[in-house]
Chain A
Amino acid sequence: MSTIEQSKDHNIDFNAMPDLKGHFGQFGGRFVSETLIHALDDLSEMYESLKNTEGFRKAFDHDMTHYVGRPSPLYFAERWTQKIGGAQLYLKREDLNHTGSHKVNNTIGQALLAKHSGKRRVIAETGAGQHGVATATIAARLGLECVVYMGAEDVKRQALNVYRMKLLGATVVPVESGSKTLKDAMNEAMRDWVTNVDDTFYIIGTVAGPHPYPKLVRDFQSIIGREARSQCLAQTGRLPDALVACVGGGSNAIGLFHPFLSDKNVKMYGVEAGGDGVETGRHAAPLTEGIPGVLHGNRTYLMEDENGQIIETHSVSAGLDYPGVGPEHAWLKDIGRVQYAPINDDEAMAGFRSLTRVEGIMPALESSHAIAYAEQLAVQMNKDDIIIVNLSGRGDKDILTVAEIDGIKV
């Protein structure tokens, strides 16, 4: 576990990031082909002009309350805490949202923008299928045409979510190029967008991609941290000592972390997919082992070879199987405000089983990485310390994967 000191810089205005061109320090920006610049300018302009209007805020809050079912509970996991025998463990229950994960917070926000833009077609990329399902859901509700790009490998390992999307009326396009996972789905979604930019709104599912996506996805997901902060104050009378969340692209983590960034005593831990172990090279932990580069419209930490070719990643969880990470995380790592560490596949599986058996809560394999890390962290902290773990999604979608690992045919 990392022992690096947390940031000593107390003067950063985290809400002022990114700058007008979308930069978080050296990260972020807008590295896209010329055809998309106009659409990104339009999106920035529309978002900035709408986001603080009463109408937009009301519409977002209304959907969060009545459609998603927010606020999601902040739940004190008493038995889990006793079992681990360290700090008090609280779960932010994003798994209880409609569609089963935090992803819906963002798709509702972007769908409001899509509606305002008048575009009748939405597209999305998806890894585990959670963002695809959340997009298909909101498209069904608004009567929009929906196309979801998904790596052919992920289509296989997330068959349940593929079928959910189809039931919701979306077209799921398996992507056969490259490594056939999330990064290739994003390439294909970009190609669709560049071709159909006039009538298509691209709903990016994470805090990555060209500006303004990392910013607006963060803003929509920050509802997680705002709620958690006030719930923690209400339930315990104080702020938590540590926050833990898994990081693929990093949207659930940034959503939890962002409203706490100025709270100097709240430590934050982003948990990457260690796969078979970072020492094997078979992992998806760019913040742990990567190097700054340019992919999918932004500068960030990437997993690449010595020639700058993006390399294939590995994780038991499709949603973390991505060679890059949101640029704000890259920046938060470099300034030392957030610590990032890997959790391996087998540790995540143990976390999955642990929470399932002790609390009766089945976490997504993505969230299981945060669960496993929290167990390691809790025993190093005092018993009256408080840790909030973001339980970003529920594990139902993963039971076939878990069964296969157990050698069981369902």
Chain B
Amino acid sequence: MNRITATLERLKSENRKALVTYLVNGDPVPDVTLPAMHAMVEGGADIIEVGVPFSDPMAEGPTIQRAHERALVHGISLKGTMELVAQFRQTNQHTPIVLMGYANPVVRMGYAEFAKQACAAGVDGLLTVDLPPEESADLDKELQAVNIHNIFLIAPTTSSARIAHVTANASGFIYYVSLKGVTGAANIDVESVAEKVDAIRATTGLSVMVGFGIKDGSSAKAASHNADGAVVGSALVSLMAEGDAAVITKRVGECVAEIRQGLDA
């Protein structure tokens, strides 16, 4: 079974929310990413989203833009991210990994080649910000063949007719973008999030994660109160910019643990 599916089923049976954490591969330097991933797991992350650095990260706010830029300085790209996941899998066989990024590096590698390499490395899902379901059919086919989930976003602007269309094409989980804006934007409106999450639930049995604008344990709990989990990105990435590997790793682990506590409280 795909690790995402297995993990989300287990969490449901335990009646717990999923904590999805994000970092950019190679940020701020390549040596930090692997220990930071392990620290996230120790801190209580259930799923890790690994950002694939891209030269033009259009959906990102300043915090994650800078992270992409820092990683690109070291030449980190999609191929290096496959290697990172393979390394992670040497000691962790159970935590699901979702690659999150933009279409062009995947287009350049070729959909079939991407699916092959991602499967071999131990990737469980792919979230491509600029590849909505309408443009995803060819990639879907390749991903399904290797049991990797293609994860789609739903936004506050997504109409109810379109929600059904997106969820019909989705697998793994639904990522609900809690606000109109870029990653790391201002505080979210918890009430409107809950309303939209209900609308999504009415169309699918897939788990619904809420992300964008979640900063700490209490906002994670509030945002996900009728969802299945929360995604934390910019708040963690903002801890990456300074310090050596040991300092960053410790800081990230503690932050994830705090959010975990808030989510479980």
Contact = CB atoms under 8 A, between A and B. Distances in A.
Interface string B49-62: 00001111111110
Nearest to A195: B181
B59 A33 contact: yes
A295 B104 contact: yes
- By size class, the interface of chain B is 35 or more
Given A37-B157, A38-B158, A309 B58 contact: no
A187 interface: yes
A200 to B, nearest CB: 10
B118 interface: no
26 contacts: A30-B135, A31-B131, A31-B132, A33-B130, A34-B152, A35-B156, A35-B157, A37-B155, A37-B162, A38-B157, A177-B65, A177-B69, A178-B55, A183-B56, A187-B57, A191-B59, A191-B61, A195-B181, A195-B182, A294-B102, A294-B130, A294-B131, A308-B77, A308-B107, A309-B72, A310-B56
Could you say which of B53, B107, B181 has the most chain A C-beta atoms within 10 Å of its C-beta?
Answer: B107
Interface string B112-156: 000000000000000001111011000000000000000011111
B108 A195 contact: no
A39 interface: yes
B77 A307 contact: yes
3 smallest A-B Cβ distances: which pairs? Answer: A308-B108, A307-B77, A308-B105
A31 B135 CA distance: 7
B103 interface: yes
A190 interface: yes
A295 B106 CA distance: 12
A77 interface: no
Nearest to A291: B108
Interface string A7-44: 00000000000000100000001111111111100000
B231 interface: no
Interface in B83-102: 102
Given A31-B103, A187-B57, 11 more contacts: A21-B134, A32-B130, A33-B132, A34-B132, A34-B152, A178-B56, A183-B56, A308-B77, A308-B104, A309-B72, A310-B104
A33 B79 contact: no
Interface in A290-333: 291-297, 299, 302, 304, 306-311
A279 interface: no
A6 to B, nearest CB: 29
A52 to B, nearest CB: 26
Contacts of A32: 130, 132
B34 to A, nearest CB: 20
Interface string A171-191: 000000110000110010011
B190 interface: no
Could you say which of A35, A37, A183 has the most chain B C-beta atoms within 10 Å of its C-beta?
Answer: A35
Contacts of A36: 157
A177 B180 CA distance: 21
B168 interface: no
Given A37-B162, A39-B157, A307-B105, A195 B185 contact: yes
Nearest to A190: B58
Contacts of B103: 31, 294
B192 interface: no
B180 A194 contact: yes
B177 A35 contact: yes
A5 interface: no
A385 to B, nearest CB: 41
A197 interface: yes
B189 to A, nearest CB: 13
A309 B158 contact: no
A157 B12 CA distance: 58
A304 B104 contact: yes
B185 A34 contact: no
A12 B135 CA distance: 24
Contact of A37 (B65, B79, B158): B158
Given A191-B182, A310-B56, A35 B155 contact: yes
A54 interface: no
Contacts of A30: 132, 134-135
A275 B78 CA distance: 29
Contacts of B199: none
Nearest to A297: B130
B132 A194 contact: no
Nearest to A310: B55
A406 interface: no
A21 B137 CA distance: 14
A198 interface: yes
Nearest to A32: B130
B130 A31 contact: yes
Nearest to A292: B107
A117 to B, nearest CB: 14
B8 interface: no
A333 B61 CA distance: 36
B79 A191 contact: no
A42 B211 CA distance: 25
B166 interface: yes
A346 B145 CA distance: 52
B104 A33 contact: no
Contacts of A191: 58-61, 182
A306 B180 CA distance: 33
B221 to A, nearest CB: 24
A37 B132 contact: yes
Nearest to B181: A195
A307 B108 contact: yes
A35 B77 contact: no
A302 B56 CA distance: 13
A307 B57 CA distance: 15
B107 A309 contact: no
A198 B181 CA distance: 11
B130 A308 contact: no
Contacts of B78: 307-308
A36 B108 CA distance: 24
Given A37-B162, A302-B104, A304-B108, A198 B180 contact: yes
Contacts of A309: 53-55, 72, 77, 104-105
